[in-house]
Structure 1
Amino acid sequence: MDSDQESTSSSSSSSSTYSSSSLSDNAIHLNQNMYRTIKKEVFIWVDSELKNIYEIDSERTWLEQKETIITKLLPPLYKLVNKKYNVSNSDILKMLHGRWRSRHRVSNIKKQGDDKVKMDRRRLKKNSRTMDKKKRRAQAANYLIENNDKYIRRYPEKELVRILKESGYHSEEWEETDSDEENDIIGEESAVKEKTMSIHIYETWWRSFALQRLLHDRIDPTVEKLRKKPRILKIKRVQRCKTTTSMPPVDTPNWCLTDEALKRFNRSTNEIPTYDYNTDQDEESDEYHNDEYENKKRKNKKNKKSKKRGLFLSIGIFIRID
């Protein structure tokens, strides 16, 4: 998922730094992709070959069954896993605990009634959309960097990486039911499946115009260009109902904050850097390059009928989504 860089060499060095991150704090370190691969196999073994040895109960607490899990389930599971992978007991236990925690939470929510279940489903969809948005924006930013976009390269690399990586910088997207009047004017075929629903994007009170400009005007248009499938639900950006309960991530750069936020957090309102200085000439040049991009895109589709175009984006390596 991400980075703005002033030189190609710094991009490659940053890539190696971020790709070396690990999910394990033990002597054996697993990178993100390997961790996910092993975890999938661990769960398959737990649900098949080892199901009769001990089945973790999602309704009981972890503490109540931890000793049984360690003494009965973990030893045979460790033997199976380590026939293919070099993994520690603590890594395997961490995987099992993560799965139990997720299922235990769902079990508790079900006990609270259907309304709580519906709310939780909405929350999970919102989180999933946020993860997808971060990934797409990171890919788009990396595409712009690789194509020497003059706007994206003005931003400091570390700050751009942080913005694209952390969920707090991205506005929340919630599925909402449309009013009867709005349903009448929905005519898009893509909205037929769930024509009574729309995605409402709620702006947060602390995000500055400069941050919104970066995300909405510089990155999001490229997100749409790179999108292979059209959106199913229509999007509504809700400015009049700004989210007032959200807080900016720790160490948010001053230029990302509104004057109200700067004052509330006792930040200086002086000497705020401006990275996106714009001119009419720049805008005309952008329109030309956008048209050029579309023409090139159509030409490539004709020349590569049997090939799928793909982008391996270095930013996707930088940002780790937990």
Structure 2
Amino acid sequence: MDSDRESNSSSSSTSSSSSTSSSSSSLSSSSSSYKMIKAKVFIWVDSELKDIYKIDEKLTWVEQKENIVTKLLPPLYKIVNKKYSITNRKLLKMLYGRWRSRHRTSNIKNQGDERVKQNKRRSSKNSRMQEKKKRRAHATNYLIENKNKYILRYPEEDLVKILKDSGYHSEEWEETDPEEEWPITQSAVVEDDEIIEEAIKQKSSSIYIHNKWWRSPALLRLLHDRIDPTVELLKKKPLTLKRKRAQSSQSRYNTSNVPPIGVPSWCLNQDALEQFNYSNVNIPVYDYNTDDQDNSDNDIEDENNNEEEIQNRTNSS
């Protein structure tokens, strides 16, 4: 019965994933094209058009919008449309996005060094989140392409939602380690059982992973047991800092520790189901071998086969 269920789920998931792969690739292509044009636009703004009008990051957008529209936009449109077809509206959106980022950075600098440090940590956290989502999406695509029996059971809509929304993934902040964990660079000087000079320690930091309290065992199993092992297999760049799980009571950065809007019920644990008024009846179970210990050996064998295949591909490339 399980095999029939798996077969039906696999065939339907395979057909849907293949039908969306072309659409996702076209979306990726259009996104890549937009980024390329935007990069060219900024080059032209900073070179050929820099003497016509320079957007001031210290001024508000309203204060200079008229000059941007009347002085900068017409010649920019003329240059860009020699090679690319793009509207004035999109060009203005690109310019606004760049101004907003630089205006924010300028304001932060004016608030002092401590605020700059905080922003740097926040930016690093956001970069790690984007990299984590990118790696997990890449691993999931690899599993789908290789018709992994577990990943194909999940609804495509749920997978896309989970992989794209940062709210489903734990945040990773670089934080200073407790002083007792700092490495000793110079030992203490002891004479007659008395410490003459204290040991010198070097301050260290690690990446602390802050868990989302509301995530269900089913969601954690998908991310940690089904996707992340393949992330590790496909990973090329080594980690530079140790990663540690932060204690719940020590989670100082819980501003986004709330489920995303429209979260599927199977992604919530029992406490979250009750707190957010979700029904706990008929919650779908996609990884229905979760509690079947007899399949653990098969899981390991599948992962070993994947690792061997990736190693062979790496050696041959």
Alignment of 1:300-311 (within 5 A): 300-302=313-315, 304=316, 307=317
Q: TM-score, normalised by structure 1?
A: 0.83
User: How far did residue 213 of structure 1 move?
Assistant: 1.2
1:84 corresponds to 2:83? yes
RMSD of aligned Cα (Å): 2.2
**2:248 is the alignment partner of 1:240:** yes
- Report the alpha carbon displacement of residue 163 of structure 1 after superposing the two structures with TM: 0.5
Tell me the SS of whatever aligns to 1:175: strand
| 1:235 to 1:5, Cα distance in 2 relative to 1, 3 A | farther
- CA distance in 2: counterparts of 1:244 and 1:173, whole angstroms: 11
> Is the CA contact (8 Å cut-off) linking 1:5 and 1:156 kept in structure 2?
no
Q: Corresponding residue for 2:107?
A: 108
> Normalising by structure 2, what TM-score?
0.84
| Structure 1 stretch displaced more, 273-282 or 43-52 | 273-282
Contact 2:17–2:156 (Cα < 8 Å) also in 1: no
The residue number in structure 1 matching 2:281 is 270
- 1:140 and 1:294 map into 2 onto residues whose CA distance is 12
- Deviates further, 140-149 or 128-137: 140-149
Secondary structure at the aligned position of 2:117 is classed as: helix
In 2 relative to 1, CA 261–301 (structure 1 residues): closer, same or farther, beyond 3 Å? closer
1:14 maps to 2:20: yes
2:158 aligned partner = 159
CA displacement at 1:288 relative to structure 2: 1.9
CA drift at 1:9:
3.0
The answer to whether the aligner puts 1:251 opposite 2:262 as a matched pair is yes
**Is the helix fraction higher in 1 or 2?**
2
Corresponding position of 1:189: none
- Following the alignment from structure 1 to structure 2, what is the Cα–Cα distance between the partners of residues 165 and 184? 38
- Which of the residues 225, 248, 251 maps onto 1:217? 225
Deviations 1:31-87 (A, max 9, x none): 211111011011111111111111100000101100101111111111110111011
Matches of 1:229 and 1:244, distance apart in 2? 29
Change (3 A) 1:96 1:221: same
Of 295, 302, 308, which aligns to 1:282?
295
Work out the percentage of aligned pairs sharing the same amino acid. Answer: 59
Unaligned runs of at least 5 residues, structure 2: 1-9, 185-201
Cα distance, 1:210 vs structure 2: 1.2
Distance in 2 of aligned mates of 1:247 and 1:145? 29
The amino acid of 1:14's aligned partner reads T
Gaps of 5+ in 1: 23-29, 186-193, 308-322
Offset at 1:184? 3.0
